[in-house]
Amino acid sequence: MRHALDRRAERVLPDATLHDARVHAYRDRRDAAGAAEPDFEDLRDHAAATKAWVLDHLDTLLEQFERNAGAAGAVVHWAADAAELREIVTAILGERGVRRVVKSKSMLTEECGLNPHLEARGIEIVDTDLGERIVQLAGEPPSHIILPAIHRSAREIGELFERRMSGPPGETDPTRLTRHARAHMRPVFLGAEAGITGVNFAVASSGSLAICTNEGNADLGTSLPALHIACTGIEKLVGDLDDLAVFLRLLARSGTGQAITTYTSLITGPRPGGELHVVLVDNGRTELLARDAHRASLGCIRCGACLNTCPVYRRAGGHAYGLAVPGPIGIALAPVSGTPGAASLPAASSLCGSCSAVCPVRIDLHDQLYAWRAAARPGPLRRLALRAAATALAHPRLYRLAGRLARALWPLLGRRWPGNPAAPWLVARELPEHPGASFRELHARRSR
Ligand code: SF4
């Protein structure tokens, strides 16, 4: 049977080979950056141990963060789920009569559906990360957590800018397109009444927020408008600035191969004369925390490395997953997200382990996916098949009969059996040559 991801991939990614090459280039850069950093593997060990400690002490670290952020002048809010995040942000904006908002990249707000919620209430929200702006103008979700428009070619982006951003006709040069977008965005920043950001790390010991971008858009969005709302998952905590330094050295190296993200800002309290609100969001995270087999996935720092190496993601593209966060980490987080169809996604993995091999926090991603598979309740057809197999395996004569039947039907498999449910699987695979007899028969013959 074909997986839903397989069918969606065909629809959304016309040139999978090109996408594969584009994405894999970042895996290559990650490898080169790791090789150039002598401490890279030690940093990964340190990061894995630190995140495990953070998850063990999350309750006290969150309280410490709330105290210290409050002492620095921020207002801390707690959201149990996506709906609460949306309500809190809408209320903060509504009480101040805000109608125009700039937002820097935040996978959490994607996860919680913040943009459409605000737009439906007449609040204009403009994504300011270039990739995010491209997908926003195209009316589609991001397809990658750090490269939101990686599925789009320069020609498509040029046409989009021409249509939606008064861009120059026929422009395909990435540098000139970027300059055009920057000029277009400047007045948007200047006219914004509030800035919404995600958070890369929240530092418990100081109540600070670390926000990393390559474009400086979060810095403009948090320093021009007087109101800053930062939305973060509760798992983004680190203990102190020493821990933060380790993660900052890993984040960009793992994602894009840079030594450090171009703009790495620490925000402690509001800007002079401004307001800072921090929304700490659970949305299924404590449920993951309570699952021993899955809590490690909360250590994710959203670097994107597991997407860049995953053979399924690279060929299918992010939109095929139907999740805010696609790829191996998206699948590992999805079963508690409530997204329709998410429970079947752990099956859409080759379990090759490439994701685990590159993760800077050493999350055992393929083991996580395997554990979700094991926990999934099989559908009625699979249950029936498993019961039949169990019966055959428990009765040797029935097992031998089933074997004979399977060997008789062997030639019919593949494309010669109209309506064969395994046919799509066999399009790209060949069945092995039939041995002509069962193992038991072959063994008996050779023992004579
Ligand atoms: S799971 Fe690991 S590799 Fe994947 S995005 Fe998170 S930190 Fe990066």
Measured distance CA(266)–CA(209) in Å, rounded = 6
Q: How far is the CA of 297 from the centre of ligand 1 (A)?
A: 8
Measured from the CA of 302, which atom of ligand 1 is nearest? 5
Lowest-pLDDT range of 45-49, 106-110, 379-383? 379-383
Please tell me which residue, 414 or 195, carries the higher pLDDT value. 195
Ligand 1 contacts CB of residue 360 (under 6 A): yes
Which of 40, 254, 295 to probe ligand 1 with, by most ligand atoms within 8 A of CB?
254
Q: How far is the CA of 34 from the centre of ligand 1 (A)?
A: 15
Which pLDDT does position 416 carry in this prediction?
62
- Which residue's C-alpha comes closest to atom 2 of ligand 1? 359
Measured from the CA of 145, which atom of ligand 1 is nearest? 5
For the chain, give the percent of residues with pLDDT over 70.
95
On the question of pLDDT at 377 being above 90, the answer is no
Which pLDDT does position 3 carry in this prediction?
66
Q: Which of 253-262, 375-384, 433-442 has the highest mean pLDDT?
A: 253-262
Per-residue pLDDT tens over the stretch 11-20: 777 788 999 9
Please tell me which residue, 189 or 337, carries the higher pLDDT value. 189
On the question of pLDDT at 409 being above 90, the answer is no
Which pLDDT does position 344 carry in this prediction?
82
Ligand 1 contacts CB of residue 107 (under 6 A): no
Which pLDDT does position 417 carry in this prediction?
66
Measured distance CA(173)–CA(299) in Å, rounded = 38
Instruction: Tell me the pLDDT band of 426, cut-offs 50, 70 and 90.
Output: confident
On the question of pLDDT at 232 being above 90, the answer is yes
- Which residue's C-alpha comes closest to atom 8 of ligand 1? 303
Instruction: Tell me the pLDDT band of 339, cut-offs 50, 70 and 90.
Output: confident
Which pLDDT does position 337 carry in this prediction?
73
Which pLDDT does position 340 carry in this prediction?
74
Q: Output the CA–CA distances (angstroms, integers) from residue 341 to 206, 321, 344, 346, in the order listed.
A: 40, 9, 6, 10
Which pLDDT does position 177 carry in this prediction?
97
On the question of pLDDT at 9 being above 90, the answer is no
Q: For 197, phi and psi rounded to 5 degrees?
A: -130, 160
Q: At what angle do helices 241-255 and 16-36 cross, to 10 degrees?
A: 140
Task: Tell me what the mean pLDDT of segment 303-320 comes to.
Answer: 96
Measured distance CA(160)–CA(154) in Å, rounded = 10
Ligand 1 contacts CB of residue 230 (under 6 A): no
Instruction: Tell me the pLDDT band of 368, cut-offs 50, 70 and 90.
Output: very high
- Angle among Cα 333, 336, 340 to the nearest 5 degrees reads 100
On the question of pLDDT at 1 being above 60, the answer is no
Q: How far is the CA of 115 from the centre of ligand 1 (A)?
A: 25
Tokens of 49: 């141990």
- Which residue's C-alpha comes closest to atom 4 of ligand 1? 306
Q: For 153, phi and psi rounded to 5 degrees?
A: -85, 165
Tokens of 274: 């401004």
Q: Which residues of 399-434 are buried (b: 16+ CB within 10 A; e: fewer)?
A: eeebbeeeeeeeeeebeeeeeeeeeeeeeeeeeeee
Ligand 1 contacts CB of residue 255 (under 6 A): no
Show Cβ contacts of residue 116 under 8 Å, excluding neighbours closer than 6 positions: none
Ligand 1 contacts CB of residue 301 (under 6 A): yes
On the question of pLDDT at 64 being above 90, the answer is yes
Per-residue pLDDT tens over the stretch 178-220: 999 999 999 999 999 999 999 999 999 999 999 999 999 999 9
Average pLDDT, the chain: 93
Show Cβ contacts of residue 214 under 8 Å, excluding neighbours closer than 6 positions: 256, 258, 261, 262, 263
Lowest-pLDDT range of 32-36, 192-196, 305-309, 312-316? 312-316
Structural domains of the chain sorted by starting position, each given as residue range(s) with its CATH number in brackets: 9-286 (3.40.50.10420), 386-447 (no CATH)
On the question of pLDDT at 272 being above 70, the answer is yes
Per-residue pLDDT tens over the stretch 143-191: 999 999 999 999 999 999 999 999 999 999 999 999 999 999 999 999 9
